[in-house]
Copies of this chain bind each other. A is one copy, B any other.
Amino acid sequence: MYLARRGHSGPDGIEPRIVVTDDPGKGWVDVRRWQALSLERRGATPSGARRLAAAFVPGSMSAALAEGEAFLDVARAAIAGERESIDDAQFLAALDPSGYRDHMTFEGHFSYGYEWQGLTVPQVMYEMPISYFGNPLAFYGPNDEIPWPHYSKRLDYELELGIVIGRPGRDLTPETALDHVVGYTILNDCSARDIQQREMKGGLGPSKGKHFACVAGPYLTTPDSLSKSGLKMQAWVNGERTCEATSAEMMWSVAEVVAWASQSEWLEPGMLLGSGTCNGGCALEIQRDLAPGDLIELEIEGLGRTRNRYGVPPTSGWWPDAKRSRR
């Protein structure tokens, strides 16, 4: 099953609608509309059917996933409904995550990152899947333009496998963790390298180096629609292929990442866990600089392709004055 969100123009502006299919090449079914029609066939009035369908199928994917099997059953049944094709530009972020944490699991990528900063790779990277929380409010759709922050001259993309939680869990083990994963999506953890490097000298974050934008989409693929576990991961900059990796290169497995994330804290439906950038999956690692207007395409086998152009930075913005030490 493939789940996505379409932006529909309505009287209140753009209304997100969840759509489903068993083949993204063959069109999509509007899940709420399908359920309302289905309720009517079972005796509901049109207004009763709309009201209940709106409760079952909200515009937020996280809110829908929070209903557990109740939502997934409806979505799966809706695959039988009438399909329509959707223009690329109408796809919203497949997930409006209820939380977002990113990890470091690809040794080639993180080793390059530390060495670029003139550091040796810390031993802790081999002891636990180190992570930080990203910004769940800054998710863009798979074809949106990404705003370039005023404070950065060095924007980058990061090609990651996005792991989507579908069932609450806490203190999981790798043996039980995969029961809590509802699907996978392409994740672009957009990065502003210049400020990220400065922030990381403080040892925490990064924040401004990361929180301005992520991309999730074009859809979530449930595990039963993935025929294999090592998924090919590719990137293109302005049409030129810049990365060919596979999720099989993850040093920490998906099950270990989920179990780790759940230790002493709740994972909630709609949470997104990032694999970290795959080996070679960013411009930094291939010594390439991006410019405003560059087109970034990311593809993961079975998960589709995102196509995002990076915007033009504003010419000004606030910046703090440095402080003097009072010690």
Tell me the A residues contacting B by CB distance below 8 Å: 99, 101, 104, 107-108, 111, 114, 117, 119, 121-138, 147, 149-151, 171-174, 198-208, 211-212, 251-252, 256, 259-260, 263-266, 268, 317-318, 320, 322-327
Contacts of A200 in B (CB 8 A): 203-204
Identify which of A101, A173, A263, A266 gathers the most chain B CB atoms within 10 Å of its CB: A263
Q: Is the interface of A mostly helix, strand, loop or mixed?
A: loop
Contacts of A260 in B (CB 8 A): 208, 320
Q: Look across to chain B and name the residue whose beta carbon is closest to the beta carbon of A207.
A: B131
CB distance from A28 to the nearest CB of B (A): 29
B259 contacts A127, CB within 8 Å? no
B264 contacts A326, CB within 8 Å? no
Contacts of A133 in B (CB 8 A): 132-135, 207, 211
Q: Which residue of the partner chain, among B204, B211, B317, contacts A171 with CB atoms under 8 Å? A: B317
A264 contacts B137, CB within 8 Å? no
Contacts of A122 in B (CB 8 A): 201-203
Q: Which residue of the partner chain, among B124, B173, B265, contacts A198 with CB atoms under 8 Å? A: B124
A252 contacts B320, CB within 8 Å? yes
Identify which of A151, A203, A320, A323 gathers the most chain B CB atoms within 10 Å of its CB: A203
Identify which of A114, A130, A317 gathers the most chain B CB atoms within 10 Å of its CB: A130
Contacts of A252 in B (CB 8 A): 320, 323
B107 contacts A325, CB within 8 Å? yes
Contacts of A108 in B (CB 8 A): 327
